Amino acid sequence: MWRWLLPLLLLGVFPALLAQDYYEEDYEEEEDTRRRKKTSPKTLTTNLIPKNGQNRIAEDCGVELAFLVDSSESAKDNHAQEKQFVIDVVERLQGARLHTGRSLSFRTALLQYSSRSLTEQTFAQWQGVAHFRTRIRDIPYIGQGTYATYAITNLTHLYLQESAMSAVKVTLLLTDGQFHPRNPDIFSAVADAKNQGLRFFMVGITPAANEPGNVQRLRLLANSPSERFLHNLQDRNIVDKVVKEIDSGTFGACVL
């Protein structure tokens, strides 16, 4: 008798679970739209009047690329490598061409975070790759706890103030995947930023970032699919991979 009961139970329970999933997704989408409606008028008016005339993205298609660099105690041994990665990505993007043959126009901001967030370069301060390289090379490691949320919140404000409306907004968060217990809710900070159109790459910086709990957290924070948006600094050809994804993501956004 039990043998018959099991399939019946499964038939009853699975559709119920599926329905619940769908419901939750719908709900999230509704929530998203609601938030977008709430925030978009502000976003639009701010973006229509970019503050920095001379070096904003001139074309209809460009990338505003932000790096959030982990400068906390746990990133001590990787800080130099993080900076090198940032410089490598920016240098590679300089030469990159879209499938259309157009070269990629971009500008870059960089924030460091530990127990506070330091804005090392804003988009408006972008003066090309050579200048950026010199500037980044010298930024010191800070130390202390990992409060990535401060950097995400500050960056969201920065985009609101300086962003060109048409730009593709790409953020690379470098992190070991573990945040200070008193770090304010990172999920809601990232959700707000995504509602403003930011796309998030998560770049783990240590092998610890690959531990299951950390991967799971980073996967939730990154845009999806995670094969494209979740990486690790210790991966082979990490610069190639990330540059390729930024390129193809931008191309996708630009044909729309």
Ligand X SMILES: *[C@@H]1O[C@H](CO)[C@@H](O)[C@H](O)[C@H]1NC(C)=O
Residues that bind ligand X (CB under 6 A): 116-117, 119, 150, 154
Nearer to ligand X, 120 or 211 (CB): 120
Nearer to ligand X, 109 or 202 (CB): 109
Nearer to ligand X, 35 or 116 (CB): 116
What distance in Å separates the CA atoms of residue 220 and residue 187, rounded to the nearest whole number?
8
Query: Residue 26: phi, psi to the nearest 5?
Result: -55, -45
Give the shortest CB-152-to-ligand X separation in angstroms. 10
Give the shortest CB-68-to-ligand X separation in angstroms. 12
Q: How far is CA 177 from CA 11, 17, 156, 222, in A?
A: 39, 30, 20, 12
Nearer to ligand X, 78 or 112 (CB): 112
Nearer to ligand X, 129 or 160 (CB): 160
Shortest-Cβ-distance residue relative to ligand X: 116
Nearer to ligand X, 146 or 223 (CB): 146
β-bridge pairing 117-121 and 106-113 = antiparallel
Q: Across the strands, what pairs with 112? A: 69, 118
What distance in Å separates the CA atoms of residue 83 and residue 81, rounded to the nearest whole number?
5
Give the shortest CB-115-to-ligand X separation in angstroms. 7
Give the shortest CB-149-to-ligand X separation in angstroms. 9
DSSP H or E run through 118: strand 117-121
Give the shortest CB-123-to-ligand X separation in angstroms. 13
What distance in Å separates the CA atoms of residue 8 and residue 14, rounded to the nearest whole number?
10
Handedness of CA 175, 178, 182, 184 (dihedral sign): positive
On the 0-12 / 13-18 / 19+ scale of CB atoms within 10 A, 58 is exposed
Nearer to ligand X, 161 or 210 (CB): 161
Give the shortest CB-20-to-ligand X separation in angstroms. 39
Query: Cis omega (within 30 of 0) on the bond before 41?
Result: no
Give the shortest CB-19-to-ligand X separation in angstroms. 43
